[in-house]
Amino acid sequence: MDVLELLEIESEVSLPKRYSTLSVEEMEARVNEIKAHFGDRLFIPGHHYQKDEVIQFADARGDSLKLAQICQTKPNAEYIVFCGVHFMAETADMLTNPNQKVILPDLRAGCSMADMADIEQTEIGWTKMQEIWGDTILPLTYVNSTAAIKGFVGKNGGACVTSGNAKKMLEWAFTQKERILFLPDQHLGRNTAFDIGIPLEQMAVYAPLTGEFEYEGEWEDVKVILWKGHCSVHEKFNVQHIQNLRKQQPEMNIIVHPECTYDVVQASDYAGSTNYIIETIKNAPAGSKWAIGTEMNLVNRIIDEHPDKEIVSLNPFMCPCLTMNRIDLPHLLWSLEKLEQGEVVNHITVPADITKNAVLSLERMLERS
């Protein structure tokens, strides 16, 4: 491969230097211009964790569930420029028509939790679980997982869940099989299972890196097998934060995302999806006080939108989700300008054989949501 070819590839995957010389106003004006040019042929969904500089251009904003649902209602959108992370763009690709193209403005916008379950590890773990429990397990996967994991789950009769419907889906899953394997977030799995009445003693943890189970009871008693994955953003909230706050400001309401640990969720007043957090605070009386345990871009936006309420982050030194933050105004503009020039960059496509089974797991969730 010669230097020119290398340079060409480089310019396809990384942001051309020109974008660092444009002012914010120039970039915003160009995005608006391109949006107006494409009209309904372009749809921009944005997750609540996206930066303000990006979310202002979203045609719809939402939690993972809402964004999955809304993409299905936009058949005229030839281009879906997804402002979120990779697994969300994959989901959008699988739920839309083959002629619709899903674009992720920066391919580095992954999700560290989704990366904690790969398909090889899952197949190995599943074989071990079948040896112990036989055909008694239904797999469920949080949507924060790769398309391959969704495909595995779909092939084995299971479904996807989001933080907005995890309880309902877990209850459904127990009507299908005696035991559940919950991938890849142990915390959402544990919090939800506890919520529907499964005691902690009946939950085993499977550690994919060692191939071992963390469990001390009888195999027969296990009801839920939790994949040992987590969200590095939500693990930054701890019980000490809650205790400090309760001591200093006992009137504060504490609301957290269920990707937080079991101890944090138990010590909080409320727990739910990003949408649940937004709605709860929106509907709270003026003057009420809130500490929020979720990603920082969203917390800052909620603070700005509710000057009549006292709102803080549960962890005062909280950082945003770094991968969500990869989608910034320059990358958004770059992907849109490329579209304007007739070029699709960062096109997210899931192979047909994976899509076939993964869609089963998504549809089983969507028809129950």
- Residues of this chain that interact with ligand 13P (CB under 6 A) are 48, 63-65, 111, 144, 162-164, 259, 273-274
Binding segment for ligand SF4 (CB under 6 A), chosen from 30-38, 225-233, 260-268, 336-344, is 225-233
By CB under 6 A, is residue 314 in contact with ligand SF4? no
Of 152-160, 197-205, 230-238, 282-290, the segment contacting ligand SF4 by CB under 6 A is: 230-238
* Smallest gap from residue 149 Cβ to ligand 13P (A): 15
Binds 273, which of ligand SF4, ligand 13P, none (CB < 5 to 8 A, cut-off by type)? ligand 13P
Residues 6+ apart with CB under 8 A from 78: 41, 42, 99, 100, 101
Q: Which of 111, 117, 137, 169 binds ligand SF4 (CB under 6 A)?
A: 111
Instruction: Choose from ligand 13P, ligand SF4, none: what does 198 bind? Cβ within 5-8 Å by kind.
Output: none
Binding partner selected for residue 162 from ligand SF4, ligand 13P, none, CB under the kind-specific 5 to 8 Å limit: ligand 13P
| HEC readout, the chain | CCHHHHHHHHHHHCCCHHHHCCCHHHHHHHHHHHHHHHHHHEECEEECCCCHHHHCCCCEEECHHHHHHHHCCCCCCCEEECECCHHHHHHHHHHCCCCCEEECCCCCCCCCCHHHCCHHHHHHHHHHHHHHHCCCEEEEEECCCCHHHHHHHHHCCCEEECCCCHHHHHHHHHHHCCEEEEECCHHHHHHHHHHCCCCHHHEEEEECCCCEEECCCCHHHCCEEEECCCCCCHHHCCHHHHHHHHHHCCCCEEEECCCCCHHHHHHCCEECCHHHHHHHHHCCCCCCEEEEECCHHHHHHHHHHCCCCEEEECCCCCCCCCCHHHCCHHHHHHHHHHHHCCCCCCECCCCHHHHHHHHHHHHHHHCCC
Q: Which does 112 bind (CB under 5 to 8 A by kind): ligand 13P, ligand SF4, none?
A: ligand SF4
d(CA 108, CA 322): 10
Among 323, 346, 355, 361, binds ligand SF4 (CB under 6 A): 323
Rule CB under 6 A: say whether 113 interacts with ligand SF4.
yes
Q: Which has the closest alpha carbon to 22: 330, 344, 273?
A: 330
Closest distance of CB 259 from ligand 13P, Å: 6
278 counts as binding ligand SF4 under rule CB under 6 A:
no
Query: 292 phi and psi, to 5 degrees?
Result: -110, 135
At its nearest, how many Å lie between ligand SF4 and the CB of residue 262?
17
Q: Which of 54, 85, 94, 348 binds ligand SF4 (CB under 6 A)?
A: 85
Least gap, CB of 294 to ligand SF4 (angstroms): 8
Cβ proximity to ligand SF4: between 281 and 324 the closer is 324
| Nearest residue to ligand 13P on Cβ basis | 63
Using the minimum distance from each CB to ligand 13P, give the nearer residue, 158 or 164. Answer: 164
* Closest distance of CB 272 from ligand 13P, Å: 8
Task: Count residues near ligand SF4 (CB under 6 A).
Answer: 13
Nearer CB in complex with ligand 13P: 50/346: 50
Q: Both tokens of residue 265?
A: 């969720």
337 binds, among ligand SF4, ligand 13P, none (CB under 5 to 8 A by kind): none
Stretch that binds ligand SF4, among 192-200, 214-222, 227-235, 309-317 (CB under 6 A): 227-235
Answer yes or no whether residue 144 interacts with ligand SF4 by CB under 6 A: yes
- Paired sense of beta strands 203-207 and 212-214, if any: antiparallel
Binding site for ligand SF4 (CB under 6 A): 85, 111-113, 144, 231-233, 259, 295, 321, 323-324
